[in-house]
Structures are given as structure tokens and as C-alpha cells.
């Protein structure tokens, strides 16, 4: 395999600092002005912003402390980040194919009950939400 192709494929599957939503002002903006989709067991908040202000799509994951131990919370967040990392290309590649001037700030908030989630449930939720956001991105060019 060509080294250039290998490096591009590795870059696409990393969850870098730029992929994470950490700015408090942007998080506040996401929850106050953003829209919401429901994909059980998550509520997906999103807001479309101009690409000139952001390098790429950014994601946030939140799991409430009230009903979970730290081990369960961290497991859900770890599985969510893994699913997003492996499937973020759904949004990234659609923006590369067509000249799109927008990116999404995405917030996944866990709303399900206290039961052990499998990775497949989380993966289905993440892929469905990313496909939905991709259609919204293509409609609003």
C-alpha cells in the first residue's frame, strides 16, 4: 500500500483535539440555539456553523451523573467516542465531495435508562444521526 494512502486512512480514523467540542461558549451556543434529534438512547443536539470559524465537525458527549457510577458513565462515553471516531467520515467525506461551507457542532446527551448498553446500539445511533446530519448538510448548501 502506498504510504500516502496509508497516512490518509489513519488520519480519517483519529479523534483529535480539533474533533472535540471543548469551548464553553460554543457548548452554551449548541444547547441554547441548536436543534435536537432523538435517537434512542441519545438526544443529539446540533448547530450548523460556517466552516471558516472551525477546522472540522466537532462533537461532545455527555452522560448524567445522577444514576450512574463513574465506571458506567465512562464506558458509555468511551463507546460513543469510538463509534463517532469510526464513522465520522460519513460527514467528512460528504463535505469533501461537494464544496460545502458549513460544519456541525454535535452534542450527544445520554437519556436512556440504567442498563448495560452494547456497542452495536450506540453505533446504530451514531451512524443514523450522522446520516441525518449529512442530508441536512446537503439540503442547506
Q: What is the average pLDDT across 107-129?
A: 92
**CA-based angle 101:34:53, to the nearest 5?**
35
* Strands, sheet with 58-62, edge to edge from the N-terminal-most edge strand: 35-39, 42-50, 102-110, 58-62
Dist CA 42 CA 109 (whole Å): 5
pLDDT for 18 equals: 87
Q: Tell me the whole-structure pTM to 2 decimals.
A: 0.84
pLDDT at res. 81: 94
CB atoms within 10 A of CB 133: 20
Q: What is the pLDDT of residues 24-45, one digit of tens each?
A: 999 999 999 999 999 999 999 9
3-state secondary structure of 115: coil
Q: Give 82's contacts (C-beta < 8 A, 6+ positions apart).
A: 119
Distance from C-alpha of 47 to C-alpha of 35, rounded to nearest angstrom: 6
Domains in the chain with CATH codes: 19-139 (3.30.230.10)
pLDDT in tens, 101-115: 788 999 999 998 878
Amino acid at each position: 500500500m502506498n504510504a500516502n494512502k496509508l497516512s490518509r486512512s489513519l488520519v480519517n480514523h483519529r479523534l483529535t483535539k480539533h474533533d472535540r467540542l471543548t469551548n464553553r461558549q460554543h457548548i452554551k451556543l449548541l444547547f441554547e440555539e441548536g436543534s435536537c434529534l432523538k435517537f434512542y438512547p441519545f438526544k443529539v443536539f446540533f448547530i450548523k456553523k460556517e466552516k471558516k470559524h472551525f477546522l472540522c465537525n466537532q462533537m461532545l458527549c455527555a452522560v448524567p451523573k445522577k444514576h450512574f457510577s463513574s465506571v458506567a458513565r465512562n464506558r458509555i462515553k468511551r463507546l460513543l467516542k469510538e463509534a463517532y471516531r469510526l464513522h465520522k467520515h460519513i460527514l467528512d467525506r460528504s463535505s469533501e465531495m461537494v464544496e460545502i461551507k458549513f460544519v456541525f457542532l454535535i452534542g450527544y446527551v445520554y437519556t436512556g435508562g440504567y442498563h448495560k448498553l452494547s456497542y452495536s446500539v450506540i453505533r446504530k445511533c451514531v451512524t443514523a444521526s450522522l446520516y441525518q446530519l449529512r442530508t441536512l448538510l446537503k439540503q442547506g448548501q
